[in-house]
Structure 1
């Protein structure tokens, strides 16, 4: 298939007044299908982000790697297809998810090559052939042909490379066949100093037998898109996406320690929970920097497939978020600090909502069981109750139309630590609503039609001091 490079000033060509699609989030400028984020890199002064992409239809299939880049994490340019499957290669049925690393100065995609229809892939490498990373050429042979002998697996995909004590290792998401679901994260040791050195199977990093995994990462038939990174003071975080019999559900995190185990490693989880409490955040991947870890997720659609096909596009990536731990060891989840660059003109309470905007509300309660409500037009509200530790998104006025085995109710409630106040940040871009409460709880939903009207903040129960500001994201 010929390679086509398409450039656009934003990652989407959505008209300024169109509320039906995101304007600032990464998605293919040419439309059609987008799913998992892949291979975030910082290289030669720019951030690069790849993603699963069907360039020919607004439905899943014929998976390529799309590509966008940014100087600042806030403003993205689309570069079309970076990696395409090859008809004579082991990825002939799709270049599925993976990661990207700089290998001896060369940005290299580490991805799932798919040439069978049962979810079992190989691990392939593709190297950038130009300084802007607009095209990657795949090596002809995989570094891992398929699952280790003797394992009866129903999933083997999504390689993720990390470094521990100076050595490179790789994870692969997996699931075992059998009468009871048994998801797994398989571990490989990269034996040399280049990625195309032999990879040796080193056992299981983690399976569902671990009590914390059983509590926080189940039920699942397989764990997809594993990502592992340090979070300080000898602790590590493992992010997993829960896949049940072919259905994508949600993403979770586990926090614990990483220890040598025989010829491999073992992850010992101690705590965990949902990474995002909404219905539109899946397959997150990580970029580890010196002082933080950035995470992007895939936001799928709350509308029907027919509606997406009619619109000409489906799926986008979330805004980047910084993921780590608070001093008390609980999850710290906040929007990337660079996103304040999107702030334009301030919007006073009662002002009409533009297509993209941000609202920030600092809340200090005066009475127990106080509830503060943010109204986004007439169809969407967000209610925070600090002393109960709850955040509720109410989309009764804009119910989802998508059919999914995980039912979409008109309200979703996230539970977090209790307290007497905090900061509520709401970033809205067309139909995509991303919310973080007090850097502890995140909630992501796609809402069609996108909120329209005016914004207000009110104390709907009890008493509180609220300082709220809003900005347009032009």
Structure 2
């Protein structure tokens, strides 16, 4: 691995640079994971949206395959191939996506089938399966289909927002991929739990609904709904709601019971999910904390996060952790006090012996993580490398996560160039982009109180470089 830390090296993003946003259509097909993403191949700004494509045999090393799906002039996706999901239908990987030909946020649902087993490209059907929203709803948003199966039937959730400020998730029954029937609202902001946790928002984008445990999908077993909050072109944050799926007339209704942020950082949005027999993998889009002008000068903007396993703990709280495969990125040990390489992982375990004990992990001189486990607080302080982005407002220098209080602490900190992903006790995640990326040396310390601590770190690299000496710099 080179010593260049200006961009992520281990995460999915276009090899050619330019623009990357929402993850789309994760699939496992013929022994490989396929992951697609929104991509502008012309400039590192949003616009001209295509689907980019990468694949991996192990969730560690990703191969870029260029553009998988492009807008077609004169068709319902002429304005962009926007977000959606993918399924394998009759052995053929098929994208189910938003065709956009309008400028008001109202799309259609389109299908595109893989042209070969390696999914090097999709060919879109000329006509949408859902040309637009049902009449009479007066929507400002209709996009991002996500398919799921419940009680032997297949359904689709579509993100929506009503004029006047009421976000919604619309539900369709999908008897075949070409036969969709509108079945009402799955969840809207009239629900008090949803209004409290998933508001304010003008629309809910990128809904993803999956069982908390794929092995338990009987009546009463919990489901998790991911929603990304959108207001006036501001992509704000992604939340998770846990609840039950209940029959409702000819459709279903999601009844949320609890929830909160899916990620407590400010560079995570538009999460999507891949349901496997024993787990659910989730990816998000990590945007930039710098200005658009700085991204244009750098030649790239946006990447996808590492995959995360999402479910519930036995007490009903959210479980979120790096995909188990990611320990395979660990290379050579990185002793405390060593210069930081371009990519690395730090794992800290601690037990606080006194109330209000504060434990810090310092990433060079400019970034520090502070944990106060008995108060259930985690803070990322980037005041040494403040964000330059001003959209929608200038950022504070600190991002804070909250969670259950207790003496025990486990942090996993995965850093890839400017991208920092922190996982706390498998209960909370915090994602931030820091430009310039952290430099200097790392250390862990108890700065207040008393604690027993143990911290380990490793360099991380792509397969050819794992185990080789890294190229750190102080």
Matched, 1:305 2:292: yes
- TM normalised by structure 1 equals 0.95
Counterparts in 2 of 1:185-200, with a 5 A limit?
185-191=169-175, 194-196=176-178, 198-200=179-181
Equivalent pairs counted in the alignment come to: 455
Counterpart secondary structure, 1:341: helix
Cross-structure match for 1:182:
166
Runs of 4+ residues over 4 Å off in structure 1: none
Q: Which ranges of structure 1 fall in alignment gaps of 5 or more residues?
A: 1-14
Cross-structure match for 1:219:
200
Match of 2:6 among 13, 20, 25: 20
Cross-structure match for 1:279:
266
Q: Distance in 1 between matches of 2:426 and 2:85?
A: 26
Cross-structure match for 2:468:
none
Cross-structure match for 1:208:
189
Q: Distance in 1 between matches of 2:114 and 2:380?
A: 42
Q: Distance in 2 between matches of 1:212 and 1:294?
A: 25
Q: Distance in 2 between matches of 1:379 and 1:429?
A: 16
Q: Residues 249 and 406 of structure 1 are in contact (CA less than 8 Å); yes or no, is this contact kept in structure 2?
A: no
Cross-structure match for 2:469:
none
Report the alpha carbon displacement of residue 407 of structure 1 after superposing the two structures with TM: 4.0
Cross-structure match for 2:453:
466
Query: Higher relative contact order by CA 8 Å / sep ≥ 6: 1 or 2?
Result: 2
Q: Distance in 2 between matches of 1:282 and 1:288?
A: 19
* Residue range with higher mean Cα deviation, 273-282 or 15-24: 15-24
Counterpart secondary structure, 2:212: strand
* Residue range with higher mean Cα deviation, 226-235 or 358-367: 226-235
Q: Which ranges of structure 2 fall in alignment gaps of 5 or more residues?
A: 462-474
Query: 1:271-323 CA deviation, whole Å, 9 max, x = no partner?
Result: 00000000000000000001100000000000000110011000000000000
Report the alpha carbon displacement of residue 350 of structure 1 after superposing the two structures with TM: 0.4
Cross-structure match for 2:76:
90
Report the alpha carbon displacement of residue 52 of structure 1 after superposing the two structures with TM: 0.1
Q: Distance in 2 between matches of 1:413 and 1:168?
A: 38
Q: Distance in 2 between matches of 1:407 and 1:263?
A: 47
Report the alpha carbon displacement of residue 408 of structure 1 after superposing the two structures with TM: 1.3
Cross-structure match for 1:144:
130
Query: 1:155-204 CA deviation, whole Å, 9 max, x = no partner?
Result: 000000010111111010000002xx10000000112xx312x2111000
Report the alpha carbon displacement of residue 422 of structure 1 after superposing the two structures with TM: 2.1
Counterpart secondary structure, 2:117: coil
Counterparts in 2 of 1:413-428, with a 5 A limit?
413-428=400-415
Q: Distance in 1 between matches of 2:320 and 2:406?
A: 17
C-alpha RMSD of the superposition: 0.8
Matched, 1:114 2:96: no
Counterpart secondary structure, 2:328: helix
Matched, 1:296 2:283: yes
Counterpart secondary structure, 2:196: helix
Q: Residues 339 and 441 of structure 2 are in contact (CA less than 8 Å); yes or no, is this contact kept in structure 1?
A: yes
Match of 2:37 among 51, 55, 67: 51
Q: Distance in 2 between matches of 1:190 and 1:277?
A: 34
Query: 1:389-430 CA deviation, whole Å, 9 max, x = no partner?
Result: 000000000000011125410011111100111210000000
